[in-house]
Each structure stands twice: as structure tokens, then as C-alpha cells.
Structure 1
Amino acid sequence: MTGIARSFALALGQLGDRRILGVLAKSMAITLAIVAALAAIAWRGTAALAERYAAGWDELGGLAGVLLAVVGGWLLFRVIALAVLQFFADAVVRAVEARHYPAEAASARELPLAEDAGNAVRGLVRAVLVNLVALPVGLLLLVTGVGTAVWFWAINAWLLGRELTDMVWLRHRPPPSSSGSAAALPLSALTRFALGGIVAGMLLVPFANLLAPVLGAAMATHLVHSRKGRS
């Protein structure tokens, strides 16, 4: 797992790069704005329903709205943060490649806006659907105390590992072979899970969760190019 540790150290060391800071500021502001808007809608919506259908329980409805906003924001933050980063991922990947892998940067494929947006939407839909499917198991695991957190961490580690790898690999993936088969991902399933696990873990920690998506994209860039170099 030395590659994971090295990629994390290199990603952390480039946080001061102006290009990285620019992406971090934009993605952070947009993510927080979306989470805050959704939380406000959930709070006001729950309070309005309580006021209309449960007269005399306004305070309880307001409390339920606050709880829904907090829990919903916590659950959706990682999904929204990654979806937002998809639109700025190229800037992170380009910054890392320009500093550490200039030859690879010169041969990279620029993704059209439509393809970039399509990848972001597909990633968002996949993350929401998988988390919804995993929700019943997570609710059952509430009785264990920590089972729910571990379950969602594992699910999102798997999701994030693939999404972050694709952010880089789509820029460098060779065209399909004559048989029509696409080139295999350069990172093994275990490496992708470890990458996603680190980022998913950071997304659970206040303040660190603001840096996690950008650090994840930078780590994925180092990991993909280190594996390419060995092939």
C-alpha cells in the first residue's frame, strides 16, 4: 500500500498550488450552497407539513425538520461534493500532471463539455441509487451502534474509488481495440477501494470533508500514472 501513502503525501503537498486552491474554493462554495439549500427546503417543508396536518405539534415538526436537514445533509454531502468536483476535476488532474507528469499531460485527451457533464450526472445518479439500495441494510445495522457507519463507508469507498479513477483514466484511456473492448482500468479493485476508503473516511470528518474530493482527485492522478508507468 506504499503507492496509496505516497499519492496521499504528494496530493497533500500540492494543496498550496494556486490552481488547486481555485478548484477547492469553487467546489467548496458550490457544495456548501447546495447542501444548505436542500437542508433549508427539508426543514421548511417538514415544518409546513406539521403546521398543516398536525396542528398543535408545530414545535415537534420544526424539530423533525431540523433533524431531517442535519441527517440528510450528512448523508448527501459526499454525493454532492463528488458530483460538483466532476465539473472541475480536469483542473485538478491537469494541475497535478503539469507538475509531476508533463509528458502524460501533453498527450491527454480533453473531454468535451457534454461528455464531462454526462459523466458527472451518471456518477451522481449511480451514487444516489446505490446509497438508496443500501439504506435498508444500514437501518437494520443501527442496532449495532457502528454497523451503519461502517456499511455506508464501505459502500461509498467502492463508489468513490471507481469515480475518482475514471476522472483521470478517461483522459488517458486508449481507444477501444478492433474487437470493440475498452482498455482495462489501471488500478486494481483493492487499490480503488483503498483510495475510495480514505476519501470516504475524510468525508465523515468535519473540515477534512471539505478537502476530501480534491485530495481524492489528486491521489487518483498519482496512482493512475504510477500504474501506467509499470505497464
Structure 2
Amino acid sequence: MMSLPKALARAAGQLADPAILRVLAKSIVTTLAIFAVFGVALWFAVDRATATWLLPMMPADYGPGVTALVTTAILLVSGWLLFRIVALAVLQFFADEVVLAVERKYYPQAAASARQLPFREDLRNSLRGLGRALLFNALALPVALVLLFTAIGPAVVFLLVNAVLLGRELTEMVWLRHRTGSQDALPLGGPSRFLLGAAVTGLLAVPFANLLAPVVGAAAATHLVHSRKDRTSHA
């Protein structure tokens, strides 16, 4: 089976592929647009709350500054917590294009036999993955808060949780195109999925690299799944 470093290296090496660049551009623009809309909505919500509850207790000219400060603080925290979830949910809509680009270059026979997922199935998978991510991150939040005094504790908790989630989601993005039925088990075992998810989660924590991480993760998962399939078929 192909090693994870080799799969990631191949994935990064294909970032200049026009098909990958198109997906990258669409996913980045869509992700940033979602956060921009969220930021505008948050600004109006905080401004209204400030006018209702805080301004009566402070000078009127403090209002804009308080609104800006609170909005920025919430955006920073929510962006850190939710960016990986939103970015992966957005990628679900374009995952077929990433997987197909990798398969056409490295696994042409697999590309020819893959099934095209209908929009409704893509949407269902995306919402299901988003729901899982929100649920498990919400369950991890109390544990992270308890470990807040350790400084590194919350980061480790979210790394572990999201490594498991991302490893599964990225593997499914590829496997759904090739499985013969819903009963088929994922081709990658738990440890392999965890290492893949951990690597992508780590990239999502790095500024600028986090914009590339979902696409790199999907491409790397494609290599890992097909190398596992090839190994199984020749066993």
C-alpha cells in the first residue's frame, strides 16, 4: 500500500493541474463567501444586541467600537473552530472533480468505471458529514474547556476528534464512486484513516495551507484508496 507521505506528495504535486486548480478556486471562493456572509450577519446581530443591552449603560459613541471588537472576537473563535468543517462540507460538492482528476492521471481504468454521484446524493453526503462534524466537535468542546488550563489540551482534543472525522470523510469521498453496494466496507483501515485525517487536520491549522488542505486531502485519499484496492486485487 502507498505510504501516506508519498500520497500527500503526489497530491501536492498535482495542485498545478488545471482541473485541480478549478476545484481549488471554487472551493476557496465558496468557503470564504460563506464566512463573509456569516461575518455580515454577525455584525448586524452584535450591533443590534449592543444597541439594546449595552448602549444604555455607556456613551453612545462607544457603540461601533464595541460592535467591531465583539464581532472580530467571535469571528476569530468561530473561524478557528468551524473553518475545517465548512471547508470540508464545501469540498463535498466538488469532490468528484478532484477524485476524477487524480484517477484520470494515475488510475485511468478506475476513472472509466467510476459512477457519477447525482447532486442529491452529493448533498445528502455533505449534510451527513457536516452533521457528524458538528456533533462530535460539540461533544468534544466540554472536554476541551476542562483542559483549557493546559494550553495545549484543547488543540490535542480537537486534533484527535477531527483526525477521525476527516479520515473517514475523505475516504468516503473516493469510495462512494467505486463501491458496489452500501454494505461494502471502507478500503482503508482505522489507523490509515486516522493518520490521513491527522495530516489534513494539521494542514488546516496552518494559515494559507488551510485553503489547500481539503483538496490535498481528497487527492491523497484517492491515492491511498486505489493503492489499497490494487493490493487487495493482487493478493
How much identity, in percent, do the aligned residues show? 55
**For residues 193-212 of structure 1, what are the structure 2 equivalents within 5 Å?**
193-212=194-213
Shift of 1:2: 6.0
1:82-134 Cα distance to aligned partner (Å, 9 max, x none): 00000000000000000000011111111111111110111111111111111
CA distance in 2, matches of 1:111, 1:170: 8
CA distance in 2, matches of 1:215, 1:20: 9
Deviates more, 1:101-110 or 1:18-27: 101-110
**Stretches of 4+ moved more than 6 A in 1?**
none
Q: Which amino acid aligns with 1:73?
A: G
Gaps of 5+ in 2: none
Match of 2:35 in 1: 35
CA contact (8 A) 1:51 1:61 kept: no
> Does 1:122 pair with 2:128?
yes
> Does 1:230 pair with 2:231?
yes
Q: Among 88, 91, 99, which residue is 2:97 paired with?
A: 91
Q: Among 77, 88, 97, which residue is 2:83 paired with?
A: 77
> Does 1:185 pair with 2:186?
yes
Give the alignment's TM-score, normalised by structure 2: 0.92
Shift of 1:136: 1.0
CA contact (8 A) 1:28 1:210 kept: yes
CA contact (8 A) 2:2 2:224 kept: no
Which secondary structure does the structure 1 equivalent of 2:3 belong to?
Answer: helix
Match of 2:219 in 1: 218
Q: Which amino acid aligns with 1:77?
A: F
CA contact (8 A) 2:2 2:227 kept: no
Give the alignment's TM-score, normalised by structure 1: 0.94
CA distance in 1, matches of 2:181, 2:150: 47
**For residues 128-167 of structure 1, what are the structure 2 equivalents within 5 Å?**
128-167=134-173
Distance 1:97 1:21, change over 3 A: same
CA contact (8 A) 1:199 1:216 kept: yes
Gaps of 5+ in 1: 177-181
RMSD: 1.4
| Larger relative contact order (Cα-Cα within 8 Å, sequence gap ≥ 6) | 2
1:5-48 Cα distance to aligned partner (Å, 9 max, x none): 11011101111100000000000000011012212322332232
What is the aligned residue count? 226
Deviates more, 1:49-58 or 1:67-76: 49-58
